[in-house]
């Protein structure tokens, strides 16, 4: 499509408005250089993550853990038993889940710490952590099952946990209730 002819009036107005303008010298020009992004401290992040995970002991055995047979139950002091009852009955909606199948204990510990931190940020109140039944581990013993219980009791944001209902994983998972931010 051909360009329309310039309006002589517009050209005249432009020349009149810019008649006193002078070109900038190279030293007067403003250069907009893109700022370099700050470096990501990968090692620091890794070290902090490891330090958080190291705060969870494998040898923590509280006197107030509730056990009824093989079913895992825990309720932090100062909270109503009805919270645990409702959690066991599946009245809380599970918002997030973490699957620890196939992980070694050290890997699982790091994942649990990161998962709980992310859940707190997102405002997830009820989560499921699948630890498995230990059928694939040495001696067919559930290693992560026992360690996870201990780790969760050491975390301040955990109010309660219980074994998941059969439809939610049964003896291979825990349903965890977290504090709100």
Residue 85 placed within a domain: yes
- Distance from C-alpha of 100 to C-alpha of 72, rounded to nearest angstrom: 17
Is residue 88 assigned to a domain?
yes
| Confidence at residue 65, expressed as pLDDT on a 0 to 100 scale | 47
Q: Kindly tell me if the per-residue pLDDT of 58 is higher than 70.
A: no
Structure tokens at 53: 């995970």
Residue 11 lies in a domain: no
Q: For residue 120, with 0-12 CB atoms within 10 Å meaning exposed, 13-18 middle and 19 or more buried, which class applies?
A: middle
Distance CA 100, CA 75 (A): 23
Strand partners, 49: none
Range of the domain at 148: 42-178
- The CATH number for 167's domain is 3.30.1370.110
Structural domain contains residue 92: yes
pLDDT at 63: 41
Q: How do residues 72-116 score in pLDDT, each as one tens digit? A: 899 999 999 999 999 999 999 999 999 998 888 899 999 999 999
**Dist CA 7 CA 10 (whole Å):** 5
Q: Give the percent of the chain with pLDDT over 70.
A: 71
Any domain includes 31? no
Asked whether residue 13 is assigned to any structural domain, the reply reads no
Q: Which two tokens stand for residue 90?
A: 């599946």
pLDDT in tens, 112-135: 999 999 999 999 999 999 998 877
Are 98 and 112 within 8 A, CB to CB?
yes
What would the two tokens of residue 71 be? 């079913």
> In the chain, how many domains are there?
1
Name the nearest CA neighbour of 148 among 101, 180, 181.
101
Locate 81 and state its tokens: 């038993």
| Whether the model pTM is above 0.75 | no
Q: Let me know if residue 101 belongs to a domain.
A: yes
Residue 76 lies in a domain: yes
């Amino acid at each position: 499509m051909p360009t329309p002819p310039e309006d002589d009036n517009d050209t005249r107005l432009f020349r009149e408005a810019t008649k006193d303008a002078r070109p900038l010298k190279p030293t007067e020009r403003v250069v907009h250089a893109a700022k370099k992004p700050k470096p990501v401290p990968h090692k620091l992040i890794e070290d902090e993550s490891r330090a958080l995970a190291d705060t969870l002991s494998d040898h923590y055995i509280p006197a107030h853990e509730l056990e009824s047979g093989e079913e895992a139950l825990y309720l932090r002091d100062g909270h109503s038993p009805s919270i645990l009852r409702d959690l066991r009955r599946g009245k809380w909606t599970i918002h997030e889940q973490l699957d620890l199948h196939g992980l070694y204990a050290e890997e699982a510990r790091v994942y649990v710490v990161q998962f709980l931190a992310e859940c707190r940020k997102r405002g997830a109140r009820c989560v499921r952590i699948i630890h498995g039944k230990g059928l694939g581990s040495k001696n067919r013993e559930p290693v992560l099952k026992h360690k996870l219980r201990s780790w969760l009791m050491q975390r301040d944001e955990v109010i309660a946990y219980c074994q998941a209902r059969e439809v939610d994983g049964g003896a291979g998972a825990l349903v965890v209730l977290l504090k709100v931010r």
